[in-house]
Structure 1
Amino acid sequence: MLSRIINKTPWLSSSSTHVPLRVTCSSSASKRVPKSEESSSPLRTVACGLLAVCTVATASPVIAANQRLPPLSTEPNRCERAFVGNTICQANGVYNKPLDLRFCNYTNKKSNLKGKSVAAALMSDAKFDGADMSEAVMSKAYAVGASFKVLSGSTFDNAQLEDAVFEDTIIGYIDLQKLFTNTSIRAEGRVELGCR
């Protein structure tokens, strides 16, 4: 049966009709297998193994990351907590209460975020455009989709930038030289930045 389906699948044969490949990966010890299907048993085992590997390998890491995040805080002043920061002030991400800054807007906050500790903060889709975050501690922060436009004067020391997108960014020459020394930037990011 498996060989019949494979012969009808266009990317496995020259036939022009498209029939999806269907493999059943279960068996029963009490079921008698006819001699004609015994020869396809190793092929079924390999196909089932490949399907299992594909299923696990193609699971989206973004979906997995979003599932691990706690629900959005319902505190009315959760966005203002950034101005206080992580009160324990440990860069290793230890906190007494999660700092949930997701979807908050800090555009052009010139002094309120300066020197604050937002270590281990949840900052997904927050806007920090034009904010002064000099001397701020952001280690272990989760900032997927956050915007930091008009960021300047950064050193990028030990920054993990492997998935950073630099498309349409304007970075000063001195800051760009500092950024070139960061080894975590992938090849595509180096091309976007103009690294040689």
Structure 2
Amino acid sequence: MTSVCIPVAGAGHRLPSLRRHHHPKPSYGQPTRFRCYVDEEGTSARECVSSFKGMKSVACGLLAAWAVTAASPVVAANQRLPPLSTDPNRCERAFVGNTIGQANGVYDKPIDLRFCDYTNDKSNLKGKSLAAALMSEAKFDGADMSEVVMSKAYAVGASFKGVDFSNAVLDRVNFGNADLQGVIFKNTVLSGSTFNDAKLEGAVFEDTIIGYIDLQKLCTNTSINAEGRAELGCR
């Protein structure tokens, strides 16, 4: 919840006069304050205490707009995921990939792979573009996903045990609570990706491409073994 208080002129604050005519001295009460509250999604703003209705409406509107733009992408993704696709062939779309997929997550049609099972797939996923794919709770254990592009993918709770991500682009992927034990991140781009509570035992980070800030966050994951921490350069 975000709270903003703005003090308005009250007792002790004199307003400048543009003319030298004598006018009755305005009567000011206690300092007037108004407070706006915005919910977590930034979708509403309401006033608690105010006597300046025009000002409160403008301020609360601006605060709501700010909250929408400042909202965490992760929170938004958790709360605004679309309903599960009813396409009976939705899992097969991964074998085609995103035909116009790019690193910024542009797609012609959402790729919904949630709850799909690609265990030990060694040929169909390699080199595919799965930008902005929804992958939560899917299984990719033992699959060959080398050279894939998964920019902005949502893989919370997915299982990637033993997956080969060599030379892949995993930019801004949410791997929260994912099982990544034994994953190979050799020469893999991991910039902007998050691994909150992910299992990374035995993960290989040889020549991984990752930003300094992202590296510091990744190094806080205690499941990474000593060899993996050495490859990353964790201190």
Which residue in the other structure is 1:176 paired with? 205
Could you tell me how far apart the structure 1 residues matched to 2:201 and 2:135 are?
Answer: 22
Q: Quick one: structure 1 residues 72 and 183, their matched pair in 2 at CA, closer, same or farther if it must change by over 3 Å? A: same
How far did residue 153 of structure 1 move? 4.6
Percent identity between the two aligned chains: 57
- TM-score (norm. length: structure 2): 0.51
Residue 146 of structure 1 pairs with residue 158 of structure 2:
yes
How far did residue 109 of structure 1 move? 1.0
SS in 2 for 1:65: helix
Which residue in the other structure is 1:185 paired with? 214
- Larger helix percent: 1
SS in 2 for 1:148: coil
Which residue in the other structure is 1:115 paired with? 127
Q: Quick one: structure 1 residues 181 and 171, their matched pair in 2 at CA, closer, same or farther if it must change by over 3 Å? A: farther
5+ residue gaps, structure 2: 1-28, 43-66, 163-182
How many residues in Structure 1 have an aligned counterpart in Structure 2?
Answer: 152
How far did residue 82 of structure 1 move? 0.5
Could you tell me how far apart the structure 2 residues matched to 1:152 and 1:55 are?
Answer: 36
Query: Which range is displaced more, 120-129 or 78-87?
Result: 120-129
How far did residue 166 of structure 1 move? 6.4
- TM-score (norm. length: structure 1): 0.60
Letter in 2 for 1:165: N
Which residue in the other structure is 2:95 paired with? 83
Letter in 2 for 1:102: R
SS in 2 for 1:185: helix
Residue 134 of structure 1 pairs with residue 146 of structure 2:
yes
Task: Decide whether the 8 Å contact of 2:115 with 2:139 is kept in 1.
Answer: yes
- What are the equivalent positions in structure 2 for 1:62-77 lying under 5 Å apart? 64-77=76-89
5+ residue gaps, structure 1: 1-37
Equivalent of 2:195 in 160, 164, 170: 164
- Larger strand percent: 2
Letter in 2 for 1:169: L
Q: Quick one: structure 1 residues 159 and 146, their matched pair in 2 at CA, closer, same or farther if it must change by over 3 Å? A: farther
